Each structure stands twice: as C-alpha cells, then as structure tokens.
Amino acid sequence: MRKSEKARKYGVSPNKAAPMLALAVLLAGCAQSGNNPPEGSKENEENQMTKEPIELVVLSRLSEAMFKDSLADPVRKKYPNVTLKQLSFTGKLDELISSNVPIDILDSNTVTIYDSSRMKLAEDLTPYMKRFSVNLSALDERILEAVNKTYYFEGKLLALPITVGVASLHFNKDLFDKFGVPYPKDGMTWEEVREIAKKMTRKEGGVQYRGIELHLDSTMVRNQLSLPVVDQKTKQAAVTTAGWERWFDTMKSLYEIEGNVPERDKWGTGTPTFLKDRTIAMYAIATMFGPLPDAVKAGLNWDVVTLPSFSDIPNTTIQPWMPSLAVSTQSKHKDEAFQVIAFIFSEEGQLANTKIGRPSVLKNPEINKHFGESIEVLRGKNAAAYRKNKLAVVSPSNTEYDDVAYSILKDKFREFVYGDKDRNTALREAEEAINKKIAEALQK
C-alpha cells in the first residue's frame, strides 16, 4: 500500500452571588496566572498563538461528545482561529505512523507514554515549558509525584496530564429504601461496607440482589495500597507479596457473602447490571457520566459516596490515573500544539474541564469546587465524594509490562473468587505467567 493510500485509509474523521463572585475571581486569576512576559515585549509577541486559521489533528479515542466538550470547544473559545480535528484509531500503531497521516497531538488513551518513548512519537516538552512559561509546580502533590515517576524518559518530559481519574462507591437508593437499610456514608472502610453488603444481598421475588460489585480496572489496577505488579529494576513480577495477599483477601471477602458472587458468565458485567438491571446495591468504580443519563431516564435512583478505604490508610481513593496530551514529533505545528496543551493544563482550561466532570490535576482547591456543575445527573447528588478522598501514593514501580501483568492478575483473582484456586496458588501462577510474558517481550 502506498503512503498516500494509507493516509486515506486513516483519514481524519469525524443565593448564588457568593459562588458567582468566587468564580469571577478564579477566572480573573486564570487570566493572569503564569510567568508571562510583559505585554508588548518581543518575547511576548513571539510566544503568542498564531492569528492565522490552523487545524490541529489529535489522535484520540475519546468519544466524539467528550472530545468536543473537553478539548475542541474550550480551545475554540480560547483561540477562535484554532480547530481541533479528532483522529480516532483502533488498529496497529506502527501502521498508522508509517502512513504519514498528519498528527499534531497524542492522547495517552490512544498512545501510551511507553509507546511514545519506544517509538519516538512524542516531543520532549522541557524546552516548550521553559519558552512558554509553563511549570509543574501548580500540580497536586500526588499528581506531581506521578508525573515525576512515569512521564520522564531519559530525562525528557513526554506529556502533560490534563485530568485525573477517581473512583467512588455508587449506590442504588431505591434498593436501600426497599430493604430498609441506611445509605452508605463517606469515609467508610471496606470492612464497614462489607457489613452493609451482607444486609443488602438477598433473593426476593425470584430476583437475586447483590450487595456490592467491584470494577477491577478501578480498584485493582490503581489499587489504594500502591502495590506494583512488576519490579522496575528486575523486570520481574512482584505479586507474591504480603500486600497483594491482603488485597486479594480483603476483596474476596466481599464475594464470600452468600449470594454476592455473580454467575460465571456475568463476571465483569457490573456496569450494565448496576445501571440497567438495577440488582446491585453498591458499585465501586470510576465516574460513569457517559451512561448515567440514560440509566436515570430508565429509572435508576442513585447517589455516590467516597470509595471505602483500608483501615490504616483512611480517606484514600485510588492512585492517580492521568489522561495526558503530548506533542507529536510528526507535527508541523509543534509550538501551536504545545500552546493548546498548555491551555488545557492551565487553570482556565482545568476549570472548563472540571465543570464537565473531569477532575483537575492542579492543587488549586477553588477549581474542584466547581466539579460537575454542567452535569445534569449530578444535581442534588453528593458530587464532593468524587474528590473528597486524597489520592493514594503512587506505586514505587511502573513499567511498560503493567497492562499485561494486570490482565493476568485479574484472571487469577477471578479464579480465587470462584474457589478454583487458593490465594497462594493464584498469586504464584500469576507471577509465573507474568514473568513468561515479560521474557517473551524482551526477546522480540
């Protein structure tokens, strides 16, 4: 296939006075934030966004609506001459890159930091940060820690975080009302929530109701205990540890409640079971603002509290999971691409995203006070629960093998839950399988 044909194949596709005053002050601060050069200076003129019409292509797997709301619209409002065009892609990354499709900005949901480093896809942002007076000191402490541990390769900063994923405990208010059980509260431990789940798990009218379900991508992969799965130095699995034994035992105890284990063919279907079937009382998962509106229209009466914590690390949610943006090495508009990323990273850009339910990465507490203001289904809900807990400490080891390692570990946890394996066997087999996968990858 000729390069031009490949390019076509991957073509770009398609009493409110006080709060309002506080918002006005915040917006004024946004406009003045940063160490910007004096107006009228030569440096200022050189660092301004071009006034010419420009289209920047963003490689991103965000939904069309989320891309528009979180990136395209805020950027267009800030820079009316700049259009962001989304390039959705699900095929082989190396094939896309070789096709010479113009790409200006990379979304980490599509191209991981490790891919960016390995394939030399992302620009080192360090010189751009200096030139455009952008620094990392505004970041939340935990997020800054995560950036320092995972965003630098060979001394190069490859991306900037633009939001942070959080997990909470969603619950079905109608089920609690039906069974006469008090609602869960913020600040609970896993042991306290297990006692509530026992009361909510029952069979009634031929329907099996389950007290709690876990979304493992939220609760295991970004676990609150900050446990690694692969040792960064040895490139060996790190799951036969007391920490993982504790995590496995604590989470299995929820499924040991009689009637709370899903049928085998229903494993991993917690989201539709909670939202549509409405037979799960509590669901530990990240935000679900995409499917929640339809579920509410269909009759779901829900609310949310903070994610349960381990007793020795109270009021702690998951580790930072940070969608990020990078400047493509293929871009012909690198300065403009970085300026777009810097805007989304700024207080002004973070405020716009926070209002639509994308938590801010910055430490300014005023921004998160506006969390979810534009989300209809959050009105009247305990929206503060999404950001009330502190983020967990970042795992001491993060590697390019973590995704495959967690895939294996999730499978072994499932076997443990169903009694196919005891805990020690499950963890030992997970370690062996992970090491085998790493060895295969290192031989390529």
pLDDT tens digits in sequence order for the chain, 444 residues long: 444 444 444 344 334 344 444 444 454 455 444 444 434 434 444 568 999 999 999 999 899 999 999 999 999 999 999 999 999 877 778 788 778 888 999 998 778 888 888 889 999 999 999 999 999 999 999 999 999 999 999 999 999 999 999 999 999 999 999 999 999 999 999 999 999 999 999 999 999 999 999 999 999 999 999 999 999 999 999 999 999 999 999 999 999 999 999 999 999 999 999 999 999 999 999 999 999 999 999 999 999 999 999 999 999 999 999 999 999 999 999 999 999 999 999 999 999 999 999 999 999 999 989 999 999 999 999 999 999 999 999 999 999 999 999 999 999 999 999 999 999 999 999 999 999 999 999 998
Would you call 215 helix, strand, or coil by DSSP? coil
d(CA 315, CA 307): 8
Q: What is the pLDDT of residue 31?
A: 44
**158 to each of 120, 155, 161, how far by Cα in Å?**
10, 9, 10
Q: What does the alpha-carbon distance between residue 198 and residue 209 come to, in Å, rounded to a whole number? A: 11
pTM: 0.87
What confidence score (pLDDT) does residue 113 get?
Answer: 84
pLDDT in the model for residue 350: 97
pLDDT for 91: 73
Helical packing angle, 334-345 and 347-355, nearest 10°: 60
C-alpha 147/C-alpha 391 separation (Å) is 14
DSSP string computed for 73-112: HHHHHH-TTEEEEEE---S-HHHHHHTT----EEETTTS-
Distance CA 145, CA 142 (A): 5
Q: What is the pLDDT of residue 37?
A: 40
What pLDDT, on the 0 to 100 scale, is given for residue 115?
Answer: 86
Question: Residue 285's beta-bridge partner residues?
Answer: 168
Q: Which residues contact 34 (CB under 8 A, 6 or more apart)?
A: 133, 134, 346
Q: 44, 37 in Cβ contact below 8 A?
A: yes
Q: Return the SS3 of 228.
A: coil
Q: What is the pLDDT of residues 29-48, one digit of tens each?
A: 554 444 444 344 344 445 68
